[in-house]
Amino acid sequence: MVDADGRLLTGAREVCEMRELYEHRPSHRPRSAYADLALVNGRIYTGDPGLPWCSALAVAGGRIVARGERGDIAHALGAGTRLIDLGGRFAMPGLYDMHTHPDLALAPRYADDLDIGIVDPRPDEVRDAVLAYAAKHPDREWIYGQYFVRYTFRQAGLVPGKAWLDTVMPDRPVALLDRMWGTMMVNSLALERAGITAATPDPTNGYLERDPVTGEPTGLLIDGAYALIHAAMPPTPVPVLRAAYRDGIRYQSARGVVASKYVHVCENRLQALHALDTAGELTVRIEAAISWQDDIFPVRRRWELLTGERHYYRSARLNANAVKFHFDGTVEPRSSYLITPWDGANSGWAGKINLTPEHLADMLWDMDRQGIRVIAHCTGDAASDTFLDAVAEARRRPGGLGVRHQCAHCTILHGSNLRRFRELGVTAEFSPVSWYPSRFVSGARSGYGPERLSRAYNVKGVLEAGGVAVIGTDWPVSPLDPWIALETLVTRANPWGEMEGRFGEPISVEQAIGVMTRNGAWSMDMEHRAGSLEIGKSADVIVLDRDLFAIEPQGNIHATRVDLTFIAGELVHDRLNAESDAVWQGEAPKLW
């Protein structure tokens, strides 16, 4: 950036304004004796049992250097310290959303894909939306979008699939995802473009629904099978993904999230995240999990990424040392892998897994030796049981690093497995979508049957057995808003009171905060440097408009507003001050 005579060249200014991609400082660089930042006059919940509450924090070089009452941090205050008076407001450690997909929800917006935009669209509404989109986009080859809902077809006495879709749109390829992301409905032309015929074998991670006599695909592709369709479509471009992630990150910062796992990434997605990182807009620490197999879209450079290309994206905010895969399916197509068959004694069908147990055990061991975390989608109790068995096997083999692998969703867990999360150092991750009664959840969950549902989403059981439970919003399956998760962890009831009843065992506010802060940090291997407000840890602090310990949780926690979000002492979100130097100002964007 400097020429032979030492003059600054054009472009150097931009370089100077770029964020440093490292929080580390050379260990011998002199440090100021004073804090860069101090928060005073707050009601600060630290999450540290040694000192749960304080009113003042001092931060230097991104870390907490003093805490306590105002007098306890006085020695750290200098002329250059930025002093923020919290005016008695409540503050706490930032939140961890340990499983989400902002790209899947938001990229269609920037790619201008079809978005039906109705929570539970009826078949006629799906038809109207497809026709309107087709008319508006005459030059688009593919009509691709979301969502249709299987149970609304059942209610209308219709069968979703190519026969129905061909009556709507016979002459352009159409592919629509269902709301649970477990099924794709396509028309005959889409099957033809993807080269799918009766002779096409099912992939290991999904299947084609077929006519029982002819073997002809019906146009419903389950789980990983729909990657066959995506492979025939153009991949989502990097600028679209970048715009999508930017919105998601801005939203997460505005809702107090400081760290998140983005699961199912490919080379384009990593490039998009890297671009945000270098622009100073990655205001959430992201662990990005590379798809182990083509569960949603094809990942063309999977092996290059896993063997080392992933390191090129690494910074203080971005880490791609994880893989994600769908181990079993979902409730709607009855592909969750269960210990007892779906229909009791009348059927032998217990669902399926997408990797053989031998494949899984070898893969876990291999990834463990490379320090790569494995995140496995497990909705059925047999899926998580088999996953835990494979971790146990990997732990017995030599050379493993004891990586904290993650059992995603944990919808139904077997009681005997609760203690194994602690024993094997596996994170139990729960998804909030099914924690409270809603029309969608009632429709979907009924398939599991009453016995299994009575032990579903057993966050409390894992915690009582000494295990680490975390939450993932799993957006777009459920909203990206972590405060809905926090409220429903505590109430297990519908936050808006739309439906009566409770579902599962609640935990306390204090436990729920621990799940969404300290436990998240543990599941990202950061518990020694983040997750609670302790001296030496990263200053990841959020300031709220209400005191979570002083309000009635039901109907209130989900509506919490986050006034300020700091990550490593950097102010990244400021809700109340439009002139602020924070990366983002104002309310969280409306994303759904």
Q: Which residues bind Zn ion (CB under 5 A)?
A: 474
Q: Which is nearer to Zn ion, 66 or 433 (CB)?
A: 433
Measured CA to CA, the distance from residue 592 to residue 588 in angstroms comes to: 12
Give residue number: closest CB to Zn ion: 474
First and final CA of the chain: distance in angstroms? 43
**141: number of Cβ within 10 Å:** 11
CB-CB contact of 378 with 418 (8 Å): no
Q: Which is nearer to Zn ion, 56 or 265 (CB)?
A: 265
For strands 570-574 and 562-567, give the pairing. Answer: antiparallel
Q: Which is nearer to Zn ion, 48 or 474 (CB)?
A: 474
Measured CA to CA, the distance from residue 202 to residue 238 in angstroms comes to: 30
Longest Cα–Cα distance of the chain, Å, equals 84
Least distance from Zn ion to the Cβ atom of residue 305, Å: 19
Q: Which is nearer to Zn ion, 153 or 262 (CB)?
A: 262
CB-count burial class (<10 Å; 0-12, 13-18, 19+) for 252 = buried
Could you give the angle at the alpha carbon of 23 between the alpha carbons of 511 and 375, nearest 5°? 50
Measured CA to CA, the distance from residue 533 to residue 536 in angstroms comes to: 9
Least distance from Zn ion to the Cβ atom of residue 31, Å: 42
Please provide the size of the chain in residues: 592
Q: Which is nearer to Zn ion, 45 or 147 (CB)?
A: 147
Least distance from Zn ion to the Cβ atom of residue 475, Å: 8
CB-count burial class (<10 Å; 0-12, 13-18, 19+) for 50 = exposed
**111: number of Cβ within 10 Å:** 17
Structure tokens belonging to residue 97: 């959303």
Q: Which is nearer to Zn ion, 477 or 582 (CB)?
A: 477
DSSP state of 21: S
Q: Which residue has the tokens 């970048």?
A: 242
CB-CB contact of 58 with 75 (8 Å): no
Measured CA to CA, the distance from residue 265 to residue 140 in angstroms comes to: 25
Q: Which is nearer to Zn ion, 474 or 570 (CB)?
A: 474
Q: Which is nearer to Zn ion, 295 or 381 (CB)?
A: 295
Q: Which is nearer to Zn ion, 474 or 563 (CB)?
A: 474
DSSP state of 279: T
Least distance from Zn ion to the Cβ atom of residue 297, Å: 13
Structure tokens belonging to residue 190: 């889409």
Dihedral of the alpha carbons of 553, 556, 557, 559, in degrees to the nearest 10: 170
**Strand order through the sheet with 56-60:** 63-68, 56-60, 37-40, 82-85
CB-CB contact of 203 with 220 (8 Å): no
Least distance from Zn ion to the Cβ atom of residue 408, Å: 7
Measured CA to CA, the distance from residue 375 to residue 394 in angstroms comes to: 15
Least distance from Zn ion to the Cβ atom of residue 488, Å: 18
Least distance from Zn ion to the Cβ atom of residue 474, Å: 4
Structure tokens belonging to residue 13: 């200014």
Q: Which is nearer to Zn ion, 474 or 487 (CB)?
A: 474
Q: Which is nearer to Zn ion, 474 or 574 (CB)?
A: 474
Least distance from Zn ion to the Cβ atom of residue 375, Å: 9
Measured CA to CA, the distance from residue 506 to residue 502 in angstroms comes to: 9
Measured CA to CA, the distance from residue 338 to residue 380 in angstroms comes to: 5
Q: Which is nearer to Zn ion, 149 or 196 (CB)?
A: 149
Q: Which is nearer to Zn ion, 315 or 473 (CB)?
A: 473
CB-CB contact of 400 with 362 (8 Å): no
Query: Which H or E run includes 270?
Result: helix 267-278
**Measuring CA to CA, which residue among 106, 47, 91, 43 is closest to residue 560?**
91
